[in-house]
Structure 1
């Protein structure tokens, strides 16, 4: 087993992971309530970029809170799937297979 080659491959993969994370900051996910009264945008790294609230929701605090929870959770779920898919693709494609290592990426 070529340890130096493997270490180089690990560093290369680490850089690709960092590059992928930077790219995911530019991938935007838009989500909205079914009636379009609340809209959110976040990155695939799950950083909220914008929240747009229709004036109609400002009169009912409980409804607004419910909308925020529902829409943000849907957006975070989508962002998480994209994030995991992108990072899994990098790690599985570029990682040298060391016995026992595959368990770390599950």
Structure 2
């Protein structure tokens, strides 16, 4: 019976750590760039856009498609960075736990 109580305590502890980690990830402010910095985009850890800066040199009528592509590329850059940070934090939290390969956390 003592083992079950100990295990339940560890589960509660892990749950608290997971909630803290999720809050940290949500509070991230990640910057993505494209076009050598002509487009800069900021996302939070939830993937919500916080800001967008576009170099005025891109505001030309015949370069609209380039601007659109750069915004998409900057968004992908920021999203990839946020996902990398989240995966690193999750790996740190779950170090030593017998989690099956490929299982993504948080659920």
What's the TM-score bracket when you normalise by the shorter of the two chains? 0.7 to 0.9
In 2, the alpha carbon distance for the partners of 1:52 and 1:43 equals 16
Q: Is the 8 A contact 1:17 1:90 kept in 2?
A: yes
Segments of 4+ moved more than 4 angstroms: none
The 1:104/1:67 distance shift into structure 2, 3 A limit, reads: same
Contact 1:32/1:39 (<8 A) preserved: yes
Match of 1:46 in 2: 47
Distance 1:42 1:20, change over 3 A: same
Cα drift, residue 104 of structure 1 = 6.7
Segments of structure 2 that go 5 or more residues without pairing to the other structure are none
| Aligned positions of 1:45-84 closer than 5 A | 45-59=46-60, 60-84=63-87
Q: CA RMSD in A?
A: 2.2
TM-score, with normalisation over the residues of structure 2?
0.76
Q: Which residue of 2 aligns with 1:89?
A: 92
Per-residue deviation at 1:26? 2.8
| Mapping of residues 1-20 of structure 1, within 5 Å | 2-20=3-21
Equivalent residues of 2:32, 2:76 under 8 A apart: no
